Amino acid sequence: MSNLIYNEMIKMIRKKRLLVITLILIVLIPIFTYAQYKMLQNTIKNVGSSNWRTILQQQIVDQQNRLASSRVPEEYKHLIKLNIQQRQYYLDHNINPNAPGAPTFVRGFVEQGISLFLPLLVIILAADIVSSEHSLGTIKLLLTRPVPRWKILLSKYIALLLNISFVMILTILLCYLISGIIFGYKGWTFPVISGFQSKGEELITDYVHVLPQWKYILMAYGLAWFICIVIGTLSFMVSVLMKNTASSMGVMLAALISGNLLEQVAHSWPALKYSAFTHLRLTDYLAGNTSLIPGMSLPFSLTVLSAWAIVSLVIAFATFTRQDVLT
Amino acid sequence: MKQGNAVLSVDKLSKTIGKRKVVDNVSFHIDQGEIFGFLGPNGAGKTTTIRMLVGLIRPTSGQIRIGGYDLQSQYLQAIRQVGCIVENPECYPYLTGRENLELFTRMVDTIPTERIDEVIEFVELDQRIDDPVKTYSLGMKQRLGIAQALLGNPQLLILDEPTNGLDPAGIRELRSFIRKLADEKGISVFISSHILHEIQLLCDRVAIIHEGRVLTTERVKQLVNRPTFVEWHLDPIEKGKDVFEQLSYISHLDIQADQGKVLVQMPPDKIAATNQHLVENQIQIMRIHPHQMTLEDIFLQITGSDTIV
């Protein structure tokens, strides 16, 4: 079995998939770092102070002004109210939610990237893992060896999991190293608040606790890793079902993007909470950002995502071990 | 659990895809060291049969035994006896030839790494083995394909249309490889083709498949001795006609006096005797031209119709 996984890793590396992903990260992270820096400069200029307390206070005032506007929809007003309470909590406890530093950037990157960017990288890895064997015709060589089919598929899946884990670690490392050039490399022990909950318009702070930033980052990347594995598993199934790499990538991209878009309307269409693609922003539970969909919680999201992953795996294995290879 | 002496035995094999019976009740067997041809036009069910033989497609009914092992119930033991190239000789283009072979060697515990060098030497690919496969010519890919098929020391080699896309030199080279394998290593070889001539040059026995059914299985010698058309350019024509009419083995006679020739249908091994007979009757023979028998001719004879497309 380890030999089979080794083979799959060789294919992955020699297909230059990992290289492409590393290059994407190396190009995009400096851009995001610079954008972040520009945004910070802008806020300082607008508020006229670089003191974070002043900035935070100004943001609260801005949001209260938005609340007064009649054009803001009801469900957004609800979110804004909770957001104000959260910011106030940070002020009251004298904790800067965005203390500058590379670790803060690492945290911000996963919070922003968990729903689209990281899953996208995973799709690049997973979408052709089986379908490319079909399009190259090498599937005939793989499946005529004295190796049971489920072992071949399992070795591919394990190789995919290893690759996903590698990409996660690579993301943390590159984010830290590149953004540190501008923001400095300190900040692993900055305090971060987690555990906000909401009940109606009330922010519940009973479960709120302060953690060092490194612990928070670890939890956030743990959740991102879970999301990536779920997306990877779904792509893996699509790759088994579709024998064409372009269409398997297309299906996954369409699902991912429409999931991101549909999340915005999910408050008026609650059935969407059973779709895997509306649960991608898992780090929101850590940060205490209230979801638009009522009745969502971290355990619920994890259950829905796990269910999708397990069903996908069952379908992938059942199909692969039975299907006739006609092409 | 081993049964029977045939390296491959196929019994009443059928496959239905959708509503179409692609392979219908096919039976044949291959003995040790035998080169067996599987002859039929494109779309006759050759590739589907081959895919069933190597476990890529599940038969609708029927049984396949390889080296005595049942392919359905003892898949791993059965498939261990087989090396194959199904359709095109595909390998990973982004790896080198050697890396491809290493990859396939790792998949089977019982293959020692020294085996890689043995097969490379056998297919004479030592010069280019460390180049990426995407730089290979089709002939070299074909040889790499044979190398990977031989890795597991198979008893049975299955080649699907192996000469497709090869130039004449490549085809000759391939033929000598296959002969060498059968003669020196005692490997049985199963070859599919739609070209009669190819099978004729290489195979010991042949099965002819048409529309999913095996029409006949016979020795190649027998097959090429089926009556064929022979053109006799002679003088005088009328006298020649009389002589031909007396011969019992001549089944069809067509006088083309304006061109000075007679077209007859007869077994090719009777040409010499016929020639002698004509000479004895003081007939001058300018030219004897046996028509190359084609797959179409055989179909015509066997089915009595011209349904071949």
Question: Tokens 């299907």 appear where?
Answer: A323
Q: Give the residues across from B193 on adjacent strands.
A: B39
> In this structure, what is the dihedral angle of CA atoms A102, A103, A109, A115, given to the nearest 10 degrees?
170
Residues A285 and A298 sit within 8 Å (Cβ to Cβ): yes
Mean predicted confidence (pLDDT) in B108-113: 87
pLDDT at A85 over 80: yes
Residue A46 lies in a domain: no
Whether this model's pTM surpasses 0.90: no
Task: Give the range among A74-78, B44-48, B107-111, B191-195 with minimum mean pLDDT.
Answer: A74-78
CB spacing of B94 vs A143 below 8 angstroms:
no
User: A148 in a domain, yes or no?
Assistant: yes
Distances (CA, A) of A84 to A61, A211, A222, A264, B108: 9, 21, 28, 21, 63
> Which residue matches tokens 């081993």?
B2
Domain-located, residue A223: yes
Chain A: residue nearest B56 by CA? A325
Compute the Cα dihedral for B202, B205, B208, B212 and give only its sign: negative
Q: Mean of the pLDDT values across residues B155-178? A: 86
- Collect all residues of chain A within an 8 Å Cβ-Cβ radius of residue B88: 137
> If we measure between CA atoms, which residue out of A35, A290, A72 comes closest to residue A178?
A35
Q: What is the pLDDT of residue A164?
A: 95
Q: What are phi and psi of B92, to 5 degrees?
A: -75, 115
Query: Does residue A121 register a pLDDT over 50?
Result: yes
* Interval B39-60 mean pLDDT: 90
Rounded mean pLDDT, A122-140: 91
Q: If we measure between CA atoms, which residue out of B216, B224, B205 comes closest to residue B271? A: B224
The pair of three-digit structure tokens given for residue A68, joined into one six-digit string: 């007064």
- A251, A126 contact by CB (below 8 A): no
10 Å CB burial of residue A262 (0-12, 13-18, 19+) is middle
Strand partners, B16: B21
**Residue A54 domain-assigned?**
no
CA distance B31 to chain A (A): 22
Decide if A289 is inside a domain.
Answer: yes
Instruction: Write out the residue range of the structural domain in which residue A313 sits.
Output: 2-24+99-322
Q: In chain A, what percentage of residues exceed pLDDT 70?
A: 98
Tell me the mean pLDDT in the region B131-141. 90
pLDDT for res A205: 75
Q: Answer with the residue of higher pLDDT: B82 or B138.
A: B82
Mean pLDDT value of segment B284-297? 80
Residues from chain B contacting residue A15 (CB–CB below 8 Å) = 94
Query: Quick one: angle between helices A17-47 and A2-14, nearest 10?
Result: 60
Among B86, B87, B141, the residue to mutate for chain A (most A Cβ within 10 A)? B86
Q: Cβ of A146 and B95 within 8 Å?
A: no
Higher-pLDDT residue of A305 and B42 is A305
User: Do the chains contact at B84 and A324, CB–CB below 8 Å?
Assistant: no
Residue A76 is assigned to a structural domain of this protein: no
Omega into B236 within 30° of 0, i.e. cis? yes
Mean pLDDT, chain B, as a whole number? Answer: 86
pLDDT at position B80, please?
A: 92
Q: Which residues pair with B253 in a beta bridge?
A: B264
B37 Ramachandran zone, left/alpha/beta (phi>0; psi -120 to 50):
beta
Alpha-carbon separation of residue A261 from A211, A253, A264, A279 (angstroms): 32, 12, 6, 12
**Average pLDDT, stretch B160-174?**
84
pLDDT of residue B262: 87
Give the range with max mean pLDDT: A33-37, A75-79, A157-161.
A157-161
DSSP A207-262: T-EEEEHHHHHHHHHHHHHHHHHHHHHHHHHHHHH-S-HHHHHHHHHHHHHHHHHH
- Note whether A138 contacts B90, CB cutoff 8 Å: yes
**pLDDT tens digit sequence for B225-260:** 777 888 888 888 888 888 888 888 887 888 888 888
If residue B16 lies in a helix (H) or strand (E), which one and from where to where? Answer: strand B8-17
Checking if the pLDDT of B60 tops 90, the result is yes
> Which residue intervals of chain A are DSSP H helices?
2-14, 17-47, 52-68, 74-92, 102-113, 117-126, 131-136, 139-142, 149-183, 213-241, 245-262, 283-287, 298-322
Per-residue model confidence (pLDDT) at position A293: 66
Q: List Cβ neighbours of A172 (8 Å cut-off, separation of 6 or more).
A: A106, A217, A221
pLDDT at residue B308 greater than cutoff 60: no
Distance CA A276, CA A262 (A): 11
Q: How far is B89 from chain A (nearest CA, A)?
A: 9
Q: Any chain B CB within 8 A of the CB of A3?
A: yes
Distance, CA of A303 to CA of B294 (rounded, Å): 66
Predicted pLDDT of residue A228: 95
> Quick one: pLDDT at residue A9?
93
pLDDT of residue B309: 40
Alpha carbon of B134: minimum distance to chain A alpha carbons (Å): 12
Cα four-point dihedral sign A209, A215, A221, A225: negative
Across the interface, do B56 and A14 touch by the CB < 8 Å criterion? no
Q: Among candidates B288, B290, B282, which has minimal Cα distance to B235?
A: B282
Confidence (pLDDT) at B3: 43
Length of chain A equals 327
- Over range B168-190, report the average pLDDT: 87
CA distance A145 to A147: 5
Of B217, B214, B255, B219, which is closest to residue B237 (Cα–Cα)? B255
pLDDT at A292 over 70: no
Instruction: Select the more confidently predicted residue: A257 or A326.
Output: A257
Q: To the nearest whole angstrom, how far is the Cα of A229 from the nearest Cα of chain B?
A: 26
Q: Is the pLDDT of residue B129 over 60?
A: yes
Q: Which of A5, A144, A322 to mutate to test the interface with B (most CBs of B within 10 A)?
A: A144
pLDDT at A39: 86
For the segment A23-52, the average pLDDT, to the nearest whole number, is 88
Most A-contacting residue of B54, B57, B81, B90 (CB-CB within 10 A), to test interface: B90
Q: What is the pLDDT of residue B131?
A: 93
Q: Give the per-residue pLDDT at B142.
A: 87
Mean pLDDT over all residues of chain A? 87
pLDDT at res. A223? 93
ipTM for the predicted complex comes to 0.81
> Would you state the pLDDT for residue B186?
87
Beta strands B261-266; B228-235: pairing state: antiparallel
pLDDT digits over A185-238, tens only?
888 888 888 877 777 677 777 777 888 889 989 999 999 999 999 999 999 999
Q: Does residue A277 contact residue A260 with C-beta atoms inside 8 Å?
A: yes
Burial of A206 (0-12, 13-18, 19+ CB in 10 A): exposed
Share of chain A above pLDDT 90, in %: 42
Give A233→chain B minimum CA distance, Å: 24
Cα–Cα distance, A234 to A214 (Å, whole number): 30
Find the mean pLDDT for residues B300-306: 65
Q: What is the mean pLDDT of residues A248-271?
A: 85
Q: Which residues of A touch B43 (CB under 8 A)?
A: none
Number of independent structural domains in chain A: 1
CA distances from A96 to A87, A101, A190, A210 (A): 10, 12, 9, 12
Q: What is the pLDDT of residue A286?
A: 83
CB contact under 8 A, A146 and B57: no
Tell me if A110 sits within 8 A of A217, measured CB to CB: yes
Tokens of A102: 């590379």
Nearest residue in B to A324, CA atom: B57
